[in-house]
């Protein structure tokens, strides 16, 4: 958030929180999703740059029906449309993980679901790796994390509302 003394994502940089901080941002839901994954990938494999796309549930500031708006995207029904949108989540990761500042960019698509979003992260790494290695790293990290999960079940967004 603009004007915050610190932007904190729990289990990523919460240890940087200081008593002197007066205004604290807990970042966006997308940043809270992206930062722990980026932290593991950067620590283990090194991120040179990356692009994240969030497929994001619609939010309370979107219109439920088509209406007039100066921005054509903002005029459209959130409950019936996939709407391209902006996100600052990739840039906010640089506030949480300064070593990634300027290395990630992002975009969003708002979709007609009321809950559950996902982040697709594509990165250029500093060293060669395999899908199996990345999966093993994420699985291992999830076993020692309060915020990361890992599964291989054939789940859809609705399953995460249970």
Which CATH number covers residue 126? 3.30.360.10
What are the 10-residue block averages of pLDDT along the chain, 162 residues in total?
88 95 94 98 98 96 94 94 95 96 97 96 98 98 96 95 84
Asked if residue 91 is part of any domain, the answer here is yes
Cβ neighbourhood burial of 127 (10 Å; 0-12, 13-18, 19+): exposed
Residue 124's beta-bridge partner residues? 49
Asked if residue 3 is part of any domain, the answer here is no
Asked if residue 49 is part of any domain, the answer here is yes
29 is catalytic: yes
Residue 8: both structure tokens together: 């904190």
Asked if residue 123 is part of any domain, the answer here is yes
Residue 40's domain comprises 29-144
Q: What angle do CA 84, 124, 155 make, to 5 degrees?
A: 55
Asked if residue 93 is part of any domain, the answer here is yes
* pTM of the complete model beyond 0.85: yes
pLDDT of residue 78: 96
Number of independent structural domains in the chain: 1
What backbone phi and psi angles, to 5 degrees, belong to 68?
-75, 140
pLDDT of residue 162: 78
Asked if residue 1 is part of any domain, the answer here is no
Residue 24's beta-bridge partner residues? 6
What does the alpha-carbon distance between residue 45 and residue 150 come to, in Å, rounded to a whole number? Answer: 18
What does the alpha-carbon distance between residue 66 and residue 112 come to, in Å, rounded to a whole number? Answer: 13
pLDDT of residue 1: 64
Q: 52 to each of 40, 55, 93, how far by Cα in Å? A: 15, 10, 11
Marked catalytic residue, from 24, 29, 55, 137: 29
Looking at beta carbons, which pairs linking 129-135 to residues 24 or more positions away fall under 8 Å? 129/45, 134/41, 134/45
């Amino acid at each position: 958030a603009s004007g915050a003394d610190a932007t904190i994502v729990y289990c990523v940089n919460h240890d940087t929180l200081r008593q002197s901080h007066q205004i604290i941002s807990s970042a966006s839901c997308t940043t809270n999703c992206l930062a722990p994954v980026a932290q593991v990938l950067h620590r283990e494999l090194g991120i040179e740059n990356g692009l994240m796309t969030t497929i994001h549930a619609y939010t309370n500031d979107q219109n439920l029906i088509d209406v007039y708006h100066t921005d054509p995207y903002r005029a459209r029904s959130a409950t019936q449309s996939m709407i391209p949108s902006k996100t600052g989540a990739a840039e906010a990761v640089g506030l949480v993980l300064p070593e990634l500042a300027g290395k990630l960019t992002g975009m969003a698509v708002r979709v007609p679901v009321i809950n559950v979003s996902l982040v697709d992260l594509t990165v250029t790494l500093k060293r060669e790796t395999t899908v199996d290695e990345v999966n093993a790293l994420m699985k291992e990290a999830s076993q020692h994390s309060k915020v990361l999960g890992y599964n291989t079940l054939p789940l859809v967004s609705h399953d995460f509302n249970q």
